[in-house]
Amino acid sequence: EKVLLNDAILNASEAKVSVFDRGFLFGDGVYEVMVQLDNRFFFGKEHLDRLESSLKKVRLSFELSTLPQKIDRLLDATGLTTEDCLLYIQVTRGTAPRKHAFPKDTAPTLLMYAVPFVLPEVNNKPVSAVTRPDFRWHRCDIKMTSLLGNVMANDFAIQNGHYEAIFNRDGKMTEGTHSNLFFVNEGMVFTHPADEHILNGITREIVLQLCRDNNIPYREEAIAFERINAMDEAFLTGTTTQIAAIRQIDDHTFYHRVEPGPVTKKLQQLFFELKKNPILH
Ligand code: PMP
Protein backbone atom coordinates (compact mmCIF):
# COMPACT_ATOMS: atom_id res chain seq x y z
CA GLU A 1 0.00 0.00 0.00
CA LYS A 2 1.42 3.36 -1.12
CA VAL A 3 1.07 6.59 0.82
CA LEU A 4 2.22 10.14 0.20
CA LEU A 5 4.42 11.57 2.96
CA ASN A 6 5.38 15.19 2.29
CA ASP A 7 6.81 14.96 -1.24
CA ALA A 8 7.45 11.24 -1.44
CA ILE A 9 5.36 8.27 -2.51
CA LEU A 10 6.32 5.39 -0.21
CA ASN A 11 5.14 1.97 0.85
CA ALA A 12 3.06 2.48 4.01
CA SER A 13 5.43 0.19 5.92
CA GLU A 14 8.40 2.36 4.94
CA ALA A 15 6.82 5.76 5.53
CA LYS A 16 8.26 7.12 8.80
CA VAL A 17 7.34 10.12 10.92
CA SER A 18 9.45 11.39 13.82
CA VAL A 19 8.38 10.52 17.37
CA PHE A 20 8.71 14.29 17.95
CA ASP A 21 6.08 15.10 15.35
CA ARG A 22 3.54 17.38 17.03
CA GLY A 23 0.75 15.34 15.51
CA PHE A 24 1.96 12.38 17.59
CA LEU A 25 2.80 14.32 20.79
CA PHE A 26 -0.06 16.84 20.91
CA GLY A 27 -2.59 15.74 18.31
CA ASP A 28 -1.57 19.05 16.72
CA GLY A 29 -2.95 18.52 13.25
CA VAL A 30 -6.00 18.74 11.02
CA TYR A 31 -7.40 16.35 8.45
CA GLU A 32 -9.95 15.79 5.73
CA VAL A 33 -11.72 12.77 4.23
CA MET A 34 -13.34 12.75 0.82
CA VAL A 35 -14.48 10.23 -1.74
CA GLN A 36 -13.85 9.97 -5.46
CA LEU A 37 -17.01 8.92 -7.33
CA ASP A 38 -17.15 8.46 -11.10
CA ASN A 39 -13.74 10.07 -11.63
CA ARG A 40 -14.29 13.17 -9.53
CA PHE A 41 -14.08 14.04 -5.89
CA PHE A 42 -17.61 14.45 -4.58
CA PHE A 43 -17.75 18.09 -3.44
CA GLY A 44 -13.94 18.07 -3.50
CA LYS A 45 -13.70 21.86 -3.54
CA GLU A 46 -15.81 22.11 -0.39
CA HIS A 47 -13.58 19.55 1.37
CA LEU A 48 -10.40 21.39 0.38
CA ASP A 49 -11.93 24.72 1.41
CA ARG A 50 -12.73 23.22 4.81
CA LEU A 51 -9.15 21.94 5.11
CA GLU A 52 -7.94 25.47 4.41
CA SER A 53 -10.32 26.80 7.04
CA SER A 54 -9.19 24.22 9.65
CA LEU A 55 -5.53 25.12 8.95
CA LYS A 56 -6.30 28.82 9.43
CA LYS A 57 -8.22 28.22 12.66
CA VAL A 58 -5.21 26.50 14.24
CA ARG A 59 -2.72 28.95 12.64
CA LEU A 60 -0.92 26.21 10.73
CA SER A 61 0.65 27.50 7.51
CA PHE A 62 0.68 24.93 4.77
CA GLU A 63 0.99 25.44 1.03
CA LEU A 64 -2.28 24.10 -0.40
CA SER A 65 -1.68 25.08 -4.03
CA THR A 66 0.35 21.94 -4.80
CA LEU A 67 -2.13 19.58 -3.13
CA PRO A 68 -4.20 18.71 -6.26
CA GLN A 69 -1.04 17.65 -8.08
CA LYS A 70 0.05 15.55 -5.09
CA ILE A 71 -3.38 13.90 -4.98
CA ASP A 72 -2.98 13.02 -8.67
CA ARG A 73 0.46 11.51 -8.00
CA LEU A 74 -0.90 9.42 -5.13
CA LEU A 75 -3.87 8.15 -7.14
CA ASP A 76 -1.56 7.33 -10.01
CA ALA A 77 0.84 5.41 -7.74
CA THR A 78 -2.00 3.45 -6.16
CA GLY A 79 -3.72 2.70 -9.47
CA LEU A 80 -6.85 4.51 -8.28
CA THR A 81 -6.93 7.39 -10.79
CA THR A 82 -10.23 6.27 -12.29
CA GLU A 83 -11.48 4.15 -9.37
CA ASP A 84 -14.00 5.00 -6.69
CA CYS A 85 -11.89 5.54 -3.58
CA LEU A 86 -11.54 7.31 -0.25
CA LEU A 87 -8.80 9.91 0.24
CA TYR A 88 -7.43 10.80 3.68
CA ILE A 89 -5.38 14.00 4.04
CA GLN A 90 -3.63 14.98 7.28
CA VAL A 91 -1.41 17.97 8.01
CA THR A 92 0.39 18.28 11.35
CA ARG A 93 2.53 21.14 12.67
CA GLY A 94 5.68 19.07 12.05
CA THR A 95 8.63 17.95 14.11
CA ALA A 96 10.12 20.10 16.87
CA PRO A 97 11.35 19.74 20.49
CA ARG A 98 8.30 19.20 22.69
CA LYS A 99 7.08 22.62 23.82
CA HIS A 100 3.55 23.95 23.81
CA ALA A 101 4.54 27.10 21.92
CA PHE A 102 4.18 26.78 18.16
CA PRO A 103 7.66 26.21 16.68
CA LYS A 104 9.00 28.80 14.23
CA ASP A 105 10.07 27.77 10.73
CA THR A 106 9.10 24.12 11.18
CA ALA A 107 7.89 22.33 8.06
CA PRO A 108 4.44 20.79 8.47
CA THR A 109 4.02 17.04 7.90
CA LEU A 110 1.62 16.00 5.14
CA LEU A 111 0.27 12.45 5.01
CA MET A 112 -2.19 11.22 2.41
CA TYR A 113 -3.48 7.78 1.59
CA ALA A 114 -6.13 6.53 -0.80
CA VAL A 115 -7.97 3.22 -0.60
CA PRO A 116 -10.58 1.63 -2.86
CA PHE A 117 -13.99 2.47 -1.46
CA VAL A 118 -17.42 1.90 -2.89
CA LEU A 119 -20.31 3.81 -1.37
CA PRO A 120 -23.62 1.95 -1.25
CA GLU A 121 -26.10 3.64 -3.62
CA VAL A 122 -28.33 4.42 -0.66
CA ASN A 123 -27.48 3.76 2.96
CA ASN A 124 -30.69 1.92 3.75
CA LYS A 125 -29.66 0.27 6.95
CA PRO A 126 -31.27 2.18 9.85
CA VAL A 127 -28.79 2.43 12.72
CA SER A 128 -29.05 2.51 16.47
CA ALA A 129 -27.59 5.29 18.62
CA VAL A 130 -27.03 6.08 22.27
CA THR A 131 -26.70 9.54 23.84
CA ARG A 132 -23.57 10.57 25.75
CA PRO A 133 -22.63 13.78 27.54
CA ASP A 134 -20.65 15.99 25.14
CA PHE A 135 -17.41 16.09 27.11
CA ARG A 136 -15.47 17.49 24.16
CA TRP A 137 -14.00 20.98 24.08
CA HIS A 138 -15.69 24.07 22.63
CA ARG A 139 -14.01 24.08 19.19
CA CYS A 140 -15.68 21.10 17.57
CA ASP A 141 -15.83 23.17 14.36
CA ILE A 142 -12.15 22.36 13.73
CA LYS A 143 -11.57 19.08 11.90
CA MET A 144 -8.58 18.11 13.99
CA THR A 145 -6.75 14.83 14.51
CA SER A 146 -7.17 14.94 18.31
CA LEU A 147 -10.28 12.78 18.39
CA LEU A 148 -10.04 11.15 21.82
CA GLY A 149 -13.42 12.51 22.94
CA ASN A 150 -15.04 11.25 19.74
CA VAL A 151 -13.42 7.81 19.85
CA MET A 152 -14.20 7.32 23.56
CA ALA A 153 -17.88 8.07 23.00
CA ASN A 154 -17.94 5.88 19.88
CA ASP A 155 -16.34 3.06 21.85
CA PHE A 156 -19.11 3.35 24.44
CA ALA A 157 -21.68 3.02 21.66
CA ILE A 158 -19.96 -0.02 20.12
CA GLN A 159 -19.46 -1.71 23.53
CA ASN A 160 -23.21 -1.35 24.09
CA GLY A 161 -24.27 -2.68 20.71
CA HIS A 162 -24.97 0.64 18.98
CA TYR A 163 -23.60 2.14 15.78
CA GLU A 164 -23.10 5.70 16.97
CA ALA A 165 -23.06 7.88 20.06
CA ILE A 166 -24.91 11.18 19.90
CA PHE A 167 -23.54 14.00 22.02
CA ASN A 168 -25.74 15.87 24.50
CA ARG A 169 -24.31 19.26 25.47
CA ASP A 170 -26.21 21.01 28.26
CA GLY A 171 -29.44 19.24 27.34
CA LYS A 172 -29.16 19.83 23.59
CA MET A 173 -28.26 17.23 20.99
CA THR A 174 -25.21 18.36 19.01
CA GLU A 175 -23.90 15.67 16.62
CA GLY A 176 -22.57 12.12 16.39
CA THR A 177 -18.95 11.12 17.03
CA HIS A 178 -18.31 11.01 13.27
CA SER A 179 -21.55 12.30 11.79
CA ASN A 180 -24.02 15.18 11.95
CA LEU A 181 -27.48 14.71 13.41
CA PHE A 182 -30.87 15.61 11.96
CA PHE A 183 -34.42 15.25 13.25
CA VAL A 184 -37.76 15.55 11.49
CA ASN A 185 -40.85 16.77 13.30
CA GLU A 186 -44.17 17.26 11.50
CA GLY A 187 -42.39 17.66 8.18
CA MET A 188 -39.85 20.20 9.51
CA VAL A 189 -36.17 19.18 9.37
CA PHE A 190 -33.99 20.19 12.33
CA THR A 191 -30.23 20.19 12.76
CA HIS A 192 -27.85 21.89 15.21
CA PRO A 193 -26.59 25.29 13.98
CA ALA A 194 -23.06 25.31 12.51
CA ASP A 195 -21.42 26.91 15.53
CA GLU A 196 -18.36 25.89 17.55
CA HIS A 197 -20.14 22.87 19.06
CA ILE A 198 -20.33 20.79 15.88
CA LEU A 199 -18.24 20.05 12.83
CA ASN A 200 -20.09 21.57 9.91
CA GLY A 201 -20.23 18.49 7.69
CA ILE A 202 -20.05 18.84 3.93
CA THR A 203 -22.90 16.30 3.80
CA ARG A 204 -24.84 18.41 6.34
CA GLU A 205 -24.54 21.43 4.03
CA ILE A 206 -25.53 19.32 1.01
CA VAL A 207 -28.65 18.06 2.83
CA LEU A 208 -29.65 21.63 3.75
CA GLN A 209 -29.19 22.69 0.12
CA LEU A 210 -31.32 19.71 -1.01
CA CYS A 211 -34.00 20.92 1.44
CA ARG A 212 -33.87 24.44 -0.04
CA ASP A 213 -33.98 23.14 -3.63
CA ASN A 214 -36.93 20.86 -2.93
CA ASN A 215 -39.05 23.04 -0.65
CA ILE A 216 -38.46 20.88 2.39
CA PRO A 217 -38.68 23.26 5.35
CA TYR A 218 -35.80 23.21 7.83
CA ARG A 219 -34.45 25.03 10.85
CA GLU A 220 -30.88 25.11 12.12
CA GLU A 221 -32.00 24.67 15.69
CA ALA A 222 -30.80 22.17 18.29
CA ILE A 223 -33.27 19.61 19.63
CA ALA A 224 -33.43 19.23 23.40
CA PHE A 225 -32.73 15.80 24.88
CA GLU A 226 -36.26 15.65 26.39
CA ARG A 227 -37.82 16.23 22.96
CA ILE A 228 -36.27 13.19 21.26
CA ASN A 229 -39.44 11.21 22.03
CA ALA A 230 -41.52 13.80 20.19
CA MET A 231 -39.51 13.50 16.96
CA ASP A 232 -40.92 11.57 14.00
CA GLU A 233 -37.62 10.75 12.30
CA ALA A 234 -33.91 11.06 12.92
CA PHE A 235 -30.91 10.54 10.68
CA LEU A 236 -27.14 10.92 10.55
CA THR A 237 -25.05 12.39 7.75
CA GLY A 238 -21.39 12.10 6.78
CA THR A 239 -19.09 11.57 3.82
CA THR A 240 -18.99 7.80 4.23
CA THR A 241 -22.24 7.51 6.23
CA GLN A 242 -24.14 9.45 3.52
CA ILE A 243 -27.67 9.65 5.00
CA ALA A 244 -28.32 6.93 7.58
CA ALA A 245 -31.76 6.65 9.14
CA ILE A 246 -31.68 6.22 12.93
CA ARG A 247 -34.00 3.47 14.12
CA GLN A 248 -33.42 4.03 17.82
CA ILE A 249 -31.93 6.61 20.17
CA ASP A 250 -31.61 5.29 23.73
CA ASP A 251 -35.06 3.77 24.44
CA HIS A 252 -36.94 5.66 21.78
CA THR A 253 -37.60 3.89 18.48
CA PHE A 254 -38.50 5.48 15.13
CA TYR A 255 -40.50 3.87 12.35
CA HIS A 256 -40.89 0.39 13.79
CA ARG A 257 -37.09 0.16 13.69
CA VAL A 258 -37.09 -1.21 10.14
CA GLU A 259 -37.42 1.52 7.57
CA PRO A 260 -36.46 5.16 7.20
CA GLY A 261 -39.29 7.67 7.63
CA PRO A 262 -40.69 9.48 4.56
CA VAL A 263 -38.59 12.67 4.80
CA THR A 264 -35.38 10.68 5.41
CA LYS A 265 -36.25 8.45 2.45
CA LYS A 266 -36.93 11.45 0.23
CA LEU A 267 -33.57 13.04 1.14
CA GLN A 268 -31.80 9.71 0.54
CA GLN A 269 -33.36 9.57 -2.93
CA LEU A 270 -32.34 13.18 -3.67
CA PHE A 271 -28.82 12.45 -2.42
CA PHE A 272 -28.61 9.37 -4.65
CA GLU A 273 -29.59 11.50 -7.67
CA LEU A 274 -27.07 14.17 -6.68
CA LYS A 275 -24.25 11.61 -6.75
CA LYS A 276 -25.09 10.85 -10.37
CA ASN A 277 -25.16 14.57 -11.19
CA PRO A 278 -23.35 16.50 -8.42
CA ILE A 279 -24.80 19.93 -9.12
CA LEU A 280 -26.78 21.98 -6.62
CA HIS A 281 -28.73 25.16 -7.31
N1 PMP B 1 -19.19 15.50 12.71
C2 PMP B 1 -18.04 14.88 13.04
C3 PMP B 1 -17.58 14.94 14.46
C4 PMP B 1 -17.29 14.20 12.05
O5 PMP B 1 -16.13 13.60 12.37
C6 PMP B 1 -17.77 14.17 10.71
C7 PMP B 1 -16.95 13.53 9.62
N8 PMP B 1 -17.05 12.14 9.55
C9 PMP B 1 -19.00 14.79 10.43
C10 PMP B 1 -19.66 15.46 11.44
C11 PMP B 1 -19.58 14.75 9.03
O12 PMP B 1 -18.83 15.56 8.15
P13 PMP B 1 -18.78 15.29 6.59
O14 PMP B 1 -20.19 15.30 6.10
O15 PMP B 1 -18.02 16.45 6.02
O16 PMP B 1 -18.12 13.99 6.37
Residue 281 in this model has a pLDDT that exceeds 80:
no
Q: Which of 215, 129, 227 is nearest to 180 (CA)?
A: 129
Are the C-beta atoms of residues 158 and 146 closer than 8 Å to each other?
Answer: no
Measured in Å, residue 50 CA sits from the centre of ligand 1 at 11
Domain extent at residue 94: 2-116
| Position 167 pLDDT exceeds 70 | yes
> Where among 116, 137, 160 does a domain terminate?
116
Confidence of residue 266 (pLDDT cuts 50, 70, 90): very high
Transcribe 110-165 into DSSP letters. EEEEEEE----SS----EEEEEEE--S-S-TTS-BS--HHHHHHHHHHHHTT-SEE
Domain CATH code at residue 188 = 3.20.10.10
C-alpha closest to that of 36 among 124, 112, 144, 115: 115
Atom of ligand 1 nearest to the CA of 177: 3
State whether 74 and 24 are in the same domain: yes
pLDDT of residue 116: 98
Q: Based on the fold, state whether residues 148 and 257 are members of the same structural domain.
A: yes
User: Mind listing the pLDDT tens digit for each residue in 169-190?
Assistant: 999 999 999 999 999 999 999 9
- Count Cα neighbours of 64 within 13 Å in the Cβ-side half-sphere: 17
> Is residue 130 within 8 Å of 249, Cβ to Cβ?
yes
Q: With respect to residue 144, please indicate whether it lies within any of the assigned structural domains.
A: yes
pLDDT at 250 over 90: yes
Residues in the chain, overall count: 281
- Provide the pLDDT for residue 93: 98
Residue 204 near residue 218, CB atoms below 8 Å:
no
The residues, ordered by sequence, that sit 6+ positions from 52 with a Cβ below 8 Å of its Cβ are 64
Task: State how far the Cα of 240 lies from the Cα of 117, in Å rounded to an integer.
Answer: 9
Structure confidence by residue, pLDDT tens digits, 19-40: 999 999 999 999 999 999 999 9
- pLDDT confidence of 126, banded at 50, 70, 90? very high
38 backbone dihedrals φ, ψ, rounded to 5° = 50, 50
Q: Which helix (H) or strand (E) segment is 48 a member of?
A: helix 44-57
Would 122 be classed as within a structural domain?
A: no
Res 16: pLDDT: 98
Residue 6 lies in a domain: yes
69 in the same domain as 155: no
- How confident is the model at residue 68, as a pLDDT? 97
pLDDT in tens, 178-224: 999 999 999 999 999 999 999 999 999 999 999 999 999 999 999 99
User: What is the percent of the chain where pLDDT is above 90?
Assistant: 95
Query: Is position 40 within any domain?
Result: yes
Instruction: Assess whether pLDDT exceeds 80 at residue 110.
Output: yes
Name the average pLDDT for the chain: 97
Which amino acid belongs to residue 25?
L
| Mean pLDDT for the stretch of residues 95-124 | 96
For a mutational test of ligand 1's pocket, the pick from 45, 199, 242, 274, i.e. the residue with the most ligand atoms closer than 8 A to its C-beta, is 199
Residues 268 and 160 both lie in one domain: yes
Distance CA 18, CA 42 (A): 33
Considering the domain architecture, whether residues 146 and 267 belong to the same structural domain is answered as yes
Give yes or no for residue 256 having a pLDDT over 80.
no
Using CA atoms, how far apart are residues 63 and 185, in angstroms rounded to an integer?
44
281 within domain boundaries: no
Q: Tell me if 217 is assigned to some domain.
A: yes
In a domain, 247, yes or no: yes
Quick one: 267 and 207 in the same domain?
A: yes
Tell me: do 160 and 64 sit in the same domain. no
Residues 109 and 146 in one domain: no
Asked if 157 and 186 sit in the same domain, the reply is yes
Q: Has 70 been annotated as catalytic?
A: no
pLDDT in the model for residue 242: 98
Q: Is residue 52 part of a domain?
A: yes
Q: How many domains does the structure of the chain reveal?
A: 2
93: domain CATH number is 3.30.470.10
- Contact between 113 and 37 under an 8 Å Cβ cutoff? The reply is no
The mean pLDDT value for 47-69 works out to 98
Q: Whose CA is nearest to atom 4 of ligand 1?
A: 178
Q: Which residue's CA is the closest to the ligand 1 atom numbered 3?
A: 178
Are 100 and 238 found together in one domain? no
Write b or e for each residue in 113-127: b if 16 or more Cβ atoms lie within 10 A of its Cβ, otherwise e: bbeeeebeebbeebb
Q: Is 141 exposed, middle or buried (0-12, 13-18, 19+ CB in 10 A)?
A: middle
**Domain's final residue, options 69, 89, 116:** 116
Q: Is residue 112 domain-shared with residue 132, that is, in the same domain? A: no
Are 132 and 253 within one domain?
A: yes
- 99, 143, 275, 276: the active-site residue: 143
Q: What percent of the chain has pLDDT over 70?
A: 100
Boundary of a domain, candidates 63, 87, 116: 116
